[in-house]
Amino acid sequence: MRVLRRHSALLFLAGLLLLLPLVLPNNFYYDIVIRMAINAIIVLGLNLLIGFAGQISLGHAGFIGIGAYASAIFPTHFGWHPLVAMAAGAAIASAIAAILARPIFRLKGHYLAMATLGLGIIIAIVIKNEAAYTGGPDGMPVAALGLMGFEISGEKQWYWVLAALLLFSFWAARNLIDSPFGRALRALHGSEVASQVMGVDVVRYKVAIFVLSAFFASLMGSVTAHYIGFVTPNIADFFHSIELVTMVVIGGMASIYGSLIGAILLTALPQALSTFEGWETVAFGSILMLCMIFMPRGLVPTLTARFRPNEREDP
């Protein structure tokens, strides 16, 4: 019974992902759902950093860019296997995050935001300028992702790959939050001095979660690159970072479900608003502003608080 209750949300999500193809009419919708899943996985990682640990990163698209371009460059220029390239990208992103995190996470608030912003911009500039390898502003094609003679191609196959990845991320993120590591992470957000007195090495935890979210961002950058088959520097730019942070905030900080909802809504919204022809950006901005005015804590926490005032969302 305990196992069933613990995994009820996971089973629900699995069921949803299993049944969804029955109602998706064509590849256009598959494509949207795939993008939702990619964003949701990145936002889950980013929410661990922003919502749960209370830190900020305005340069996360930089890590996505590293993964995407690793998957583009290593197989094309050096003949590496795509999976090796993907792992190398994640390793590079993690290493950069780990090296820079120590000095960066001595900063707090606005200064931390500026430092991460700078990091993202630098990565984007490098990608744009190293045209010999990256194709510069025009981007470059990406080889297909093959595994033991089988190539993943077409929206329907990618759908199942991302459904599996999303389920795993959802499960792992929930596990993490409800663990000694996760509690320490939330505790340092709640009270840094109290968590230190309890034995939490605060800087180490901030660094660890930053590296973890960079690792997942890079992996999803690689997946995006293979899925689309082409990368441009836009994937690493500042606006992409902001888009992801907005998903975290609108969905709900420190909320696992919020991460999913935020990613789903903000991926779907531009499509839904395309009927406004020319005014979609205005409508998009207005919706975000209204959300923040009336639900400053984000969708899921606001609604949870409404129906269960004294309890927290189950981790």
Partner 1 sequence: MALLEVDNLSKAFGGVTAVQNVSFAVDRGLVYSVIGPNGAGKTTLFNLITGVYTPTEGDIRLDGRSIAGVAPHQLASQGMARTFQNLQICMNMTALENVMVGAHLQLDRNLVKAMLRFPGLARRDRELKDRARELMGFVGLGGYWNRAANSMPYGALKRLEIARALAAKPQILFLDEPAAGLNSKDTAEIDELVRKVADNDVTVVLVEHDMKMVMNISDRILVLDYGKKLTEGTAREVRENPDVIAAYLGSNA
Chain residues in the site for partner 1 (CB under 8 A): 54, 172-173, 175-176, 178-184, 186-187, 189-191, 193-202, 208, 212, 254, 309-312
Residue 165 to residue 40: CA distance in whole angstroms: 10
Closer residue to partner 1 in complex, CB, 75/182: 182
Of the candidates 48, 64, 44, the residue with the CA atom closest to the CA atom of residue 56: 48
Residue 67 to residue 244: CA distance in whole angstroms: 16
For the CB of residue 194, give the shortest distance to partner 1 in the complex, in Å: 4
Degrees (nearest 5) of the Cα angle 71, 76, 78? Answer: 95
Amino acid at 106: R
For the CB of residue 253, give the shortest distance to partner 1 in the complex, in Å: 9
For the CB of residue 164, give the shortest distance to partner 1 in the complex, in Å: 15
Residue 223 to residue 66: CA distance in whole angstroms: 12
Asked whether 236 and 68 are in contact (CB, 8 A), the reply is: yes
CA 241: distance to chain centroid? 10
For the CB of residue 53, give the shortest distance to partner 1 in the complex, in Å: 10
Closer residue to partner 1 in complex, CB, 44/96: 44
Tell me the three state secondary structure of residue 27.
Answer: helix
Closer residue to partner 1 in complex, CB, 73/200: 200
DSSP string, 111-165: HHHHHHHHHHHHHHHHHHH-HHHH-GGG-EE----EETTEE--HHHHHHHHHHHH
Closer residue to partner 1 in complex, CB, 109/199: 199
Partners of 230 in the β-ladder: 141
For the CB of residue 24, give the shortest distance to partner 1 in the complex, in Å: 30
For the CB of residue 171, give the shortest distance to partner 1 in the complex, in Å: 8
Q: Quick one: which H or E segment has residue 231?
A: strand 230-231
Closer residue to partner 1 in complex, CB, 79/190: 190
Asked whether 203 and 26 are in contact (CB, 8 A), the reply is: no
Partners of 140 in the β-ladder: 231
Closer residue to partner 1 in complex, CB, 64/200: 200
For the CB of residue 223, give the shortest distance to partner 1 in the complex, in Å: 19
Closer residue to partner 1 in complex, CB, 63/216: 216
